[in-house]
Amino acid sequence: MATLVTGGAGYIGSHMVLDLLAAGEKVVVYDNLTTGFRDAVAPGATFIKGDVGDEAALDKLFTSHDIDAVIHFAGSIVVPESVVDPLKYYRNNTANSRTLIEACVRHGVARFIFSSTAAVYGDPAVMPIAETEPCAPVSPYGTSKWMTELMLADVAAAHELNYIALRYFNVAGADPEGRVGQSTANATHLIKVACQAALGLRPALSVFGTDYDTPDGTGLRDYIHVADLAKAHRLALAWLRDGGASGIMNCGYGDGFSVMQVIDAVKRVSGVDFTVKIEGRRAGDSPKVVADAGKIRETLGWVPDYADLDTIVWHAFAWEKNLSQKH
């Protein structure tokens, strides 16, 4: 039996494929390459180019491959774009997920792992955020993901399908062996952008807001290494294969690092004192977003291997350097 990884040519999906192959799994990657890269897919996986919204192509895929589980990364991920073009997000993240889930039900694929996001919480009053906090997304991106979570819960209650929705906090870093990393053009993730500034690919790095109620006044986020995130999915897969119940779990370390701490780490690791521009607060930014990460540790026995800011930055920087030399 093989595991189907949608979006396996993307940033997180390509790390998942490496993790599964290392664990001896058979992997089929399905990706339309809108933001992913064919060469990010490890050679040991079968690659099929196609769209998650294409019902006929999914039928063909499920008929010609023995798939027992789906890990669904494919989606659109840019929060500000979702505000300007909400229908794109309701199509690609909600409607296309519906098409995929329906294909799973039709073909008897009973295990489903879904890439959700901390954005489903919106602007929570309680920190750290537990899964029991109410969802109140403040962007079409967050809503489009939450709608898919709701759909999965209803489908799991009605059909032979169990699911785990993993709500990622700030994903960062790259493969410790340097095989894959984040290649997305115009990415806005802080650690990636700071590494680009250290490499001279950007003239400066902007910090938005230094007067938040945090120890140094800059925003605090829960950064999780992408390899630890892939490991969490592999454990969720094992959980479902062992007959574990459906559920929703946060993916973060439960620790926050401020924008300034991240910048200091990038300067320390790269040895470059790049220019930092202090700007005003940006609309929609929360002062602090940190996961209560107890549930995933207790349920899946997840123990991260790279929960250290300098390690995350080191891997991200090595990847960025590699990428800049390719172009």
Ligand X SMILES: NC(=O)c1ccc[n+]([C@@H]2O[C@H](COP(=O)([O-])OP(=O)(O)OC[C@H]3O[C@@H](n4cnc5c(N)ncnc54)[C@H](O)[C@@H]3O)[C@@H](O)[C@H]2O)c1
Catalytic residue set = 141
Find residue 48's DSSP bridge partners. 30
Site for ligand X (CB under 6 A): which residue of 7, 137, 173, 254?
A: 7
Q: 322, 306, 52, 296: which is closest to 168 by C-alpha? A: 296
Q: Min. distance of Cβ 58 from ligand X in angstroms?
A: 10
**82 lies in the site for ligand X, by CB under 6 A:** no
**115 lies in the site for ligand X, by CB under 6 A:** yes
**175 lies in the site for ligand X, by CB under 6 A:** no
Stretch of 19-27, 165-173, 204-212, 289-297 lying at the interface with ligand X (CB under 6 A): 165-173
Site for ligand X (CB under 6 A): which residue of 3, 4, 13, 175?
A: 13
**96 lies in the site for ligand X, by CB under 6 A:** yes
Q: Min. distance of Cβ 75 from ligand X in angstroms?
A: 3
Q: What is the C-alpha to C-alpha distance for residues 86 and 77, in angstroms, rounded to an integer?
A: 12
Q: Min. distance of Cβ 243 from ligand X in angstroms?
A: 26
The DSSP annotation for 32-81 comes to --SS--GGGS-TTSEEEE--TT-HHHHHHHHHHS-EEEEEE--S---HHH
Q: Which residue lies nearer to ligand X by CB, 170 or 258?
A: 170
Q: Min. distance of Cβ 13 from ligand X in angstroms?
A: 6
Residues 6+ apart with CB under 8 A from 220: 212, 214, 256, 257, 258, 287, 288, 289, 290
**122 lies in the site for ligand X, by CB under 6 A:** no
What would the two tokens of residue 128 be?
A: 């750290």
Assign 213 to helix, strand or coil: coil
Near ligand X in 180-219, by CB under 6 A: 184
Near ligand X in 19-38, by CB under 6 A: 31-36
Q: What is the largest CA-CA distance in the chain?
A: 57
Between vectors from CA 322 to CA 321 and to CA 325, what angle results, nearest 5°? 85
Q: Which residue lies nearer to ligand X by CB, 10 or 219?
A: 10
| Binding residue count for ligand X, defined by CB under 6 A | 28
Site for ligand X (CB under 6 A): which residue of 4, 19, 28, 73?
A: 73
Amino acid at 99: T
Q: Which residue lies nearer to ligand X by CB, 9 or 269?
A: 9
Peptide bond just before 128 cis, omega within 30 deg: yes
Q: Which residue lies nearer to ligand X by CB, 13 or 247?
A: 13
Q: Min. distance of Cβ 266 from ligand X in angstroms?
A: 17
Q: Are 115 and 234 in contact (CB under 8 A)?
A: no
Site for ligand X (CB under 6 A): which residue of 5, 11, 61, 181?
A: 11
Q: Min. distance of Cβ 215 from ligand X in angstroms?
A: 23
What would the two tokens of residue 266 be?
A: 């990038």
Residue 108 Ramachandran class (φ > 0 left, ψ -120 to 50 alpha, else beta): left
Summarize as ranges the residues that interact with ligand X (CB under 6 A). Answer: 6-7, 9-13, 31-36, 51-53, 73-75, 77, 92, 96, 115, 117, 168, 170-171, 184
